[in-house]
Amino acid sequence: MSPARLYRILHPETTDGAARIFRGVHHAMVGIGIGIMFADSVAPWRRVCGPLLDLGFGLVCAFFCAEYGLRFAAAAGAPGAEHRGAGRARLAWAASPGGLFDLLGVFPALLDPLFGPYRAGFFALVWALKPIRYAAGLKRLGRVLTHSAEALLSVLLGFGIVLVIAASLAYLVERQIQPRAFGSIPAALWWAIATLTTTGYGDVVPQTVVGRILAGIVMVTGILVFALWAGILASGYGEESRRREFLRIWQIVHDVPFFCDVGTAVIAEVAQLLRPRDVPAGAVVFHRGERGERMYFIASGEVEIRLAPQPVRLGVGQFFGELALLTGAPRTATVVAVRPSTLLALDLVDFHELMARRPELARIIRAEAERRLAAPEVPEG
């Protein structure tokens, strides 16, 4: 197998059968390894099933050693590796964060002969982090943290300032009454952390009136600080999701032949106006004779346009329902989803507004209308 093919199989975003099988085996091995680690820590289970646990641990270690070797070999097939040479590409991967992390996942296998699987099992905690490579949501969260780092660090600085002030004031107010809990500022920091995070363990409670007022202020301040953190993360995650969705929709619109000559600026405007709609298999998108108020682009799935004598099926990247926007005529066919589909809808009002702003798009629409209306049987897309 060529390194390029091996690289595609191991890449997290590949969707072919071989890649899905590998991911399934990979995730199963992670689950088995963690289960063995847990079972190995229970003494009665260890006494009864020790040999079986050792065998399972060895198999999991062997799989992750093999995975490291495969990824090392596949590095020569990564995009751009041909310019550096196979050897340098593999060494670059081995020194990368992903390569070092995969090497860390091999450590239990290396330590097993020296210390036995019981101690090596602690290192198998690394296996619990291996599925992160396949978690798109966690990658998105990482980008959110990177983009919002300045705002998050500013709030963290405020948190630290409030923490120091709270501990210092608690020390001044409570040190005479509770010298054990508030006898020093470092000792008062435990109470300040528990109060500012609104955890409130109750093991240390202010006794003076001033101390309790201070505790109330610190708790409310803690709520505000964490609300700021949550707001920053929610805003950043929303922006990242909208960006990804816009790029996905933009690519779909770009691949539609109808928009192939309008330019990237028009495609960007169209992508901002589209609205996703999930349609289950067998659902009717619209009926023949209905008034048309929007057209649809197929983001995923497949639809069937029921025409006589032969129905027409459309797949990802194709569009339908545009005649209602071009001519204002009723629907000429019924459209049904063959498989669960995601459709991107463009309303009539938005479409005409876009035409008014983009004369070049209006010219393309008029030409398309003349071509489709001249056809003997014009489908809805």
Please, which residues bridge with residue 337 across strands? 303
Strand 275-279 and strand 334-347: the pairing is antiparallel
In a domain, 53, yes or no: yes
Is 293 in the same domain as 363?
yes
For 204, the 3-state DSSP assignment is coil
Residue 244 lies in a domain: no
Number of domains in the chain: 3
pLDDT level of residue 247 (50, 70, 90 thresholds): confident
Bridge partners (DSSP) listed for residue 343: 277, 298
Q: What is the pTM of this model?
A: 0.64
Phi, psi for 281 (deg, rounded to 5) = -60, 135
* Statement: residue 52 has pLDDT above 80: yes
Q: Say yes or no: 67 and 9 in one domain.
A: yes
10 Å CB burial of residue 351 (0-12, 13-18, 19+) is buried
Tell me which residue has tokens 């495609």: 267
Would you state the pLDDT for residue 324? 75
Nearest to 62 by CA among 99, 18, 117: 117
pLDDT beyond 80 at 181: yes
Residue 141 within a domain = no
Chosen domain end from 134, 165, 190: 134
User: How would residue 79 be classed by pLDDT, with cut points 50, 70 and 90?
Assistant: confident
| Same-domain status, 50 and 154 | no
| 80 and 160 part of one domain | no
pLDDT of residue 260: 67
Same domain, 8 and 129: yes
9-27 residue pLDDT tens: 888 888 788 888 999 999 9
Instruction: Clarify whether residues 312 and 286 are in a common domain.
Output: yes
* pLDDT confidence of residue 193: 93
Q: Which residues contact 331 (CB under 8 A, 6 or more apart)?
A: 286, 287, 288, 289, 290, 291, 292, 321, 323, 324, 380
> Is the residue at 160 inside a domain?
yes
250 assigned to some structural domain:
no
CATH number at residue 271: 2.60.120.10
- State the CATH number of the domain containing residue 182: 1.10.287.70
Please check whether residue 252 lies inside any domain of the structure.
Answer: no
Write down the mean pLDDT value for the chain: 83
Query: Which one, of 330, 341, 346, lies nearest residue 284 by Cα?
Result: 341
Structure tokens at 211: 């101390």
Alpha helices per DSSP H over the chain: 3-10, 17-40, 43-74, 86-95, 97-123, 136-147, 149-174, 179-182, 185-196, 209-255, 264-273, 323-327, 348-357, 359-374
Contact call for residues 152 and 232 (beta carbons, < 8 A): yes
User: Which distant-in-sequence residues (6+ apart) come within 8 Å of 372 by Cβ?
Assistant: 322, 323, 326, 378
* Whole-number pLDDT of residue 278: 87
Judge whether 143 lies within some domain.
Answer: no
Domain of residue 14, residue span: 3-134
**Distance separating alpha carbons of residues 167 and 214, to the nearest angstrom:** 10
- 93 within some domain: yes
> Is residue 379 a contact partner of residue 308, using CB atoms and an 8 Å limit?
no
Question: Does one domain contain both 220 and 287?
Answer: no
Q: Are residues 289 and 217 in the same domain?
A: no
Q: Please give the average per-residue pLDDT across 369-377, as a whole number.
A: 61
